[in-house]
Structure 1
Amino acid sequence: MAVMSDRTRSGHRLPDGGKVNGASQFAGAALMFSGPLSILMGAAGIARDSLFFSSSHYAYRFGLTAWGVIHLVIGVALVVAALGILTNKSWGRGAGVAAAGISLITQFMFVPYYPMWAIPVMTLDLVIVFALTRLQFDPDRDR
Structure 2
Amino acid sequence: MTTRMAHDSGRTTARHQERASGWLTFAGTLAMVIGAFNVIDGLVGLFNDDYYLVGDNKIMVFDFTAWGWFWLVLGVVQLAVGAGIIAGRMWARAVGVLFAVLAAIGHLAFLRAFPLWSVLTIGMCILLIYALTAPPSRARG
Q: By the TM > 0.5 criterion, same fold?
A: yes
- Letter of the 1:62 counterpart: F
Residue equivalent to 1:14: 15
Contact kept, 8 Å, 1:39 with 1:71, in 2: the verdict is yes
**Higher relative contact order by CA 8 Å / sep ≥ 6: 1 or 2?**
2
Higher helix share: 2
User: Structure 1 pair 15/39, CA: closer, same or farther in 2 (3 Å)?
Assistant: farther
Report 1:79-98 matches (<5 A). 79-98=79-98
Which segment drifts farther, 128-137 or 42-51? 128-137
Query: 2:16, 2:31 → 1: CA distance?
Result: 21
Query: 2:103, 2:95 → 1: CA distance?
Result: 12
Residue equivalent to 1:140: none
Residue equivalent to 2:123: 123
Query: 1:125, 1:34 → 2: CA distance?
Result: 8
The Cα of 1:62 is off from its aligned counterpart by 1.6
The Cα of 1:135 is off from its aligned counterpart by 5.6
Match of 2:99, SS state, is helix
Q: TM-score, normalised by structure 2?
A: 0.80
Percent of aligned positions that are identical = 25
Query: 2:95, 2:20 → 1: CA distance?
Result: 16
Structure 2 unaligned residues grouped into runs of 5+: 1-7
Q: TM-score, normalised by structure 1?
A: 0.79
Match of 2:50, SS state, is coil
Q: How many residues align?
A: 130
Deviation by residue 1:7-60 (Cα, 9 ceiling, x = unmatched)? 3xxxxx23853x64111111101111111121111011011342211244x871
Deviation by residue 1:89-124 (Cα, 9 ceiling, x = unmatched)? 121110111111111110101000100110000000
Contact kept, 8 Å, 2:107 with 2:121, in 1: the verdict is yes
Query: 2:44, 2:74 → 1: CA distance?
Result: 14
Query: 2:83, 2:128 → 1: CA distance?
Result: 14
The Cα of 1:5 is off from its aligned counterpart by 6.1
Contact kept, 8 Å, 1:24 with 1:132, in 2: the verdict is yes
Across the aligned residues of Structure 1 and Structure 2, the Cα RMSD in angstroms comes to: 2.7
Give the greater-gyration-radius structure (CA): 2
